[in-house]
Amino acid sequence: MLQVSDLTVGYHRDDAVLREVCLDLTAVAVHAIVGPNGAGKSTLLHTLAGHLRPTAGTVWCEGRDVTRWRPHQAARTGVALAPQGRRLWPSLTVAEHLTVTRPARHRPGSTFSVDELLEVFPALAGRLHHHGHQLSGGEQQMLTIARALHTAPRLLLADEPTEGLAPTVARQVTAVLQQLPQRGATVLVTLPHVRAAAALTDTVHVLTTGHLSHPVTASDGQAERLLRDHLTLTNPHAE
Ligand SMILES: Nc1ncnc2c1ncn2[C@@H]1O[C@H](COP(=O)(O)OP(=O)(O)OP(=O)(O)O)[C@@H](O)[C@H]1O
């Protein structure tokens, strides 16, 4: 759905967090980015969702230059962000989180009804009248993803979606993400480890200090090697 060319983004003038990042998200598939803490994964997803303005480069959406689009324009086009750190709405209940957003009007991607979302995340069914702060970390994570899916995204940006989840719940979330392309939605997921990414797709990009690699294979050790090389360069004492 999106193509990114030579994207540079920073929070301060002359201090780029992402440097000349190129990424092709035209295939309806799961695209994964792995990278260590602070590499710029969240920065990239927030930029694609319209929350941050790049200082250079272009984002294309089906031939249209959307580099400087706003979050509501990205959302209307079918881009949904499931941010890291949950970021739920404190005054809303679980049920309200799932009903306050409306599916995108334009060519919806993967449509999920509330009932279907509760089937996918049964833990939320018993919490419908609870507020976000009354949920466990895992439940909050599930709600963040369910909220994004309820907008029927054509592109789901999932920022470390399995972080802090019990293994069974993490597997459940992984399975949902894996099925999205069959339902017409593209997924861009960030993860800290190659192993977690490999459960979703065999082709991953490695992001290290703002530089994004070409797609590399996860199963043959290429991605691990890139990460290890980076670690050795930045911390020569690491084994
Ligand atoms: N709002 C902000 N203002 C200034 N600097 C920021 C801001 N958000 C992130 N940064 C900096 O940008 C860099 C990239 O951060 P980002 O959160 O994108 O990395 P990440 O790969 O998602 O890391 P993690 O896996 O730890 O979440 C870091 O050096 C971080 O300190």
Buried b (16+ CB within 10 A) or exposed e, 165-184: beeebbebbbebbeebbeeb
Compute, in angstroms, the gap from residue 209 CA to the centroid of ligand 1: 10
pLDDT of residue 16: 94
Instruction: Assess contact for 179 and 200: CB atoms under 8 A.
Output: no
39 CA: nearest ligand 1 atom: 21
Q: Which CATH number fits domain 2-234: 3.40.50.300, 3.40.605.10, 3.40.50.2300, 3.20.20.60?
A: 3.40.50.300
Query: Of the ranges 88-92, 110-114, 178-182, which one carries the lowest mean pLDDT score?
Result: 110-114
Q: Assess contact for 193 and 174: CB atoms under 8 A.
A: no
**Ligand 1 atom closest to residue 46's alpha carbon, by position in its atom list:** 18
DSSP state of 206: E
pLDDT in tens, 5-41: 999 999 988 889 999 999 999 999 999 999 998 999 9
- Could you give the angle at which helices 137-149 and 167-179 cross, rounded to 10 degrees? 10
Give residue 125 CA to ligand 1 midpoint distance, Å: 33
The whole-chain average pLDDT of the chain stands at: 89
Mutate to test the pocket of ligand 1, among 43, 160, 189, 209 (most ligand atoms within 8 A of CB): 43
Looking at the DSSP bridge assignments, the partners of residue 212 are 207
| Pocket of ligand 1 from Cβ distances under 6 Å | 11, 17, 35, 37-43, 84, 192
ipTM of the predicted structure? 0.97
Q: What is the pLDDT of residues 93-136, one digit of tens each?
A: 999 999 887 766 656 566 788 998 998 888 899 999 999 888 88
Beta bridge partners, 207, equal 212
Domain ranges for the chain, please list them: 2-234
pLDDT at 236: 59
Identity of the residue numbered 102: R
